[in-house]
Structure 1
Amino acid sequence: MRLALRAARERTGLSQSEVAKKLGWSLSKVQRIELGEVTISPTDLRAVLVDIYQLGDQARIAELMEEARVARRERYTTASEHRDHLPSGLLQLVQFEQAAVTIREYQSTMVPGHLQTSAMVDATLAWFDRVLTEDVRDVLRDVRLTRRERMVERETAPEYLLLLDESALWRLVGDAATTADQFADLAEVGRRPNVHIRILPMDSGALMGTFGAFVVLDMSGEPDDAVLYRETYLHDEIVEDTTEVRYHRDVFERFWHRALDEEASRTLVMARVLDLRARIARRFGQDQDR
């Protein structure tokens, strides 16, 4: 829907502000519709397509109006607490994940939230106790745990490629047991046919680390039908600029082929698990001796 509306507007040569003026809408409304942040009613959609963009293909109009109805139904089934507490970028990301065909994700510091164990989620969100309310943290926890099913476990889950910086393996989150269990789970998830996990060695990924975490979601087989998600400590955003999306996908692919292959990556992850569990066992033995 968002791509069709943007493409139709660009064919007419109209700017977003000109469309807004013709319809008596605010500029932000047009921008948010094209970004997928808000839905558009079938009535408003027909006015835009027929009166403003002069679209005469009745079959295409009917197809887009049906998509508008579906989008509005999906909007209303989004939990109210998610709309109230999730950052706008994350809320959009969750929606895009459900329709994506391929997801490429780079993480430089830790296992992404949707692949975290319950204990890891709790340990991670505990860091935000001074900046996020308990209600917000509860919603974030719920979303992290439910996104896993949608992204990697459902029958129609997308192809998922995770490029994880090696430095993430050496960072303790919570305690050694929590971290070891997390990496063991990650290695197991990587065995799923639609999941591909590679570790980028620290001596090969210095430049990549400067990018920070990002996700590229391909929505179809069309190269420009994709979005970029970027996240920092307290801010996130969805980027639809095709040049920037394409650039991040190309960077990902470049370093994906420089990373350890999936079998070697799994071996490295499990070596870290065994190291952590050996440390726990030694510590337990020393405590027993005392």
Structure 2
Amino acid sequence: MPEGDSPTVARRRVRLAIRVAREQADLTQAQVAEEMEWSLSKVIRIENGDVSISPNDLRPLLSYLGVKDKSAVAALVADARIARTRQRQAWFQTPEFRENLTDATRKLIEYEHEASRIKSYAIYYVPGPLQTPDYAKALMTRFEEELTPDQISRRIEARKLRRESLLSRAESGEVTILVMLDESVLRRTIGGPTIFAAQLRELRELIAKGTITVRMVPFSLDAAVTNNASFDLLTLGEGEVLYRETGLGDEMLEDRDATGKHRARYARVWEEVADEATTLAFIDRQIGLLENPA
């Protein structure tokens, strides 16, 4: 799909242009809401990317914000039209998923469809799109006190759909996936030995096929990328976005300073950790220990 036809990139371009224009005009979101006779929450959700803005709303908003260039306005209106008409087709925007996934998670899924490169760092468990169904289910049941049955069910289903989409794109060369796993991820037997061994075998197969590239951060290396958060750094047609997760909390960041710091730290640690061959050998040893504990 050409970049200009992407609903994700198109909507991101529109909302970033709105935010930049508002800030350059030295206006608050509350002032914009009052002038446009909108609720403050509508302005916030548009700028956050939670909803798309209609072309009819965008034109007067751009005029109020001082965006007068006809070609710029026309391009943004075209982007707004693309974003709204195609967003409705996405499975993660349907009511059953909107009600049971966080806003940040839905944004992450949307960006995964468009990313050309994804750099993942995990400190607790295998990243969502790489999880087997049994591993995902075992992991989710650990949060039964915090999540409802519907939330657990939909999140497991979402990981399955994410997995199918992302790995298909990786196998076709549309996206490059780099993964750094803390050694604890490859030792923590979530779901028990049988389920965890199957998860490790799946990782091994993906590595062997060249679908993903994985390196392990060994306990012996004092070079953690972050202290307490797993994250995904996604490269899009225009810039980067950062998805950060801590336990049940998650957030999507698009601040250049934050994405830049994570990119630099990731690159540095990537060169210091165990290489692919060493990581694969470690996974093989773990599978052997799980399948033959004696």
**TM tier relative to shorter chain:** 0.7 to 0.9
* Normalised TM-score (structure 1): 0.87
Q: Secondary structure of the residue that 1:99 maps to in structure 2?
A: coil
Instruction: Please list every run of 5 or more consecutive structure 2 residues that lacks an aligned counterpart in the other structure.
Output: 1-13
State the identity as a percent: 34
Matched with 1:55 is 68
Matched with 1:199 is 216
Contact persistence 2:217–2:224 (CA under 8 A): no
Higher radius of gyration, 1 or 2: 1
Tell me the distance in 2 between the aligned counterparts of 1:184 and 1:209.
Answer: 27
Equivalent residues in 2 for 1:20-35 (5 A)?
A: 20-35=33-48
Match of 2:140 among 114, 121, 125: 125
Matched with 2:158 is 143
Match of 2:273 among 212, 237, 259: 259
Contact persistence 2:228–2:246 (CA under 8 A): no
Matched with 2:206 is 189
Match of 2:283 among 254, 265, 269: 269
Matched with 2:21 is 8
| Distance of aligned partners of 1:159 and 1:10 in 2 relative to their CA distance in 1, 3 Å threshold | farther
| CA displacement, residues 132-184 of structure 1 (integer Å, 9 cap, x when unaligned) | 22111110011001111222222364221111001111111111111111011
Tell me the distance in 2 between the aligned counterparts of 1:179 and 1:30.
Answer: 45
- How far did 1:234 drift? 2.0
Tell me the distance in 1 between the aligned counterparts of 2:221 and 2:279.
Answer: 14
Q: Secondary structure of the residue that 2:88 maps to in structure 1?
A: helix
| Distance of aligned partners of 1:125 and 1:175 in 2 relative to their CA distance in 1, 3 Å threshold | same
| Distance of aligned partners of 1:209 and 1:46 in 2 relative to their CA distance in 1, 3 Å threshold | closer
Contact persistence 1:165–1:209 (CA under 8 A): no
Tell me the distance in 2 between the aligned counterparts of 1:40 and 1:205.
Answer: 46
Equivalent residues in 2 for 1:1-290 (5 A)?
A: 1-58=14-71, 60-77=72-89, 78-154=93-169, 155=172, 157-193=174-210, 195-205=212-222, 207-208=224-225, 210-220=227-237, 225-279=239-293, 282=294
Paired amino acid for 1:109: Y
| CA RMSD across the alignment | 2.0
Q: Secondary structure of the residue that 1:164 maps to in structure 2?
A: strand
Tell me the distance in 1 between the aligned counterparts of 2:243 and 2:142.
Answer: 22
Tell me the distance in 1 between the aligned counterparts of 2:166 and 2:174.
Answer: 5
Paired amino acid for 2:82: V
Tell me the distance in 2 between the aligned counterparts of 1:245 and 1:187.
Answer: 29
Matched with 1:287 is none
Contact persistence 1:227–1:239 (CA under 8 A): yes
| CA displacement, residues 61-90 of structure 1 (integer Å, 9 cap, x when unaligned) | 233222212222343222210111111111
Runs of 4+ in 1 over 4 A off after TM superposition: none
Paired amino acid for 2:151: V
Q: How many residues align?
A: 276
Contact persistence 1:40–1:68 (CA under 8 A): yes
- How far did 1:205 drift? 4.1
Tell me the distance in 1 between the aligned counterparts of 2:85 and 2:110.
Answer: 13
Tell me the distance in 2 between the aligned counterparts of 1:45 and 1:194.
Answer: 41
Paired amino acid for 2:117: T
Contact persistence 1:123–1:174 (CA under 8 A): yes
* Normalised TM-score (structure 2): 0.86
Tell me the distance in 2 between the aligned counterparts of 1:43 and 1:160.
Answer: 39
Tell me the distance in 2 between the aligned counterparts of 1:50 and 1:191.
Answer: 54
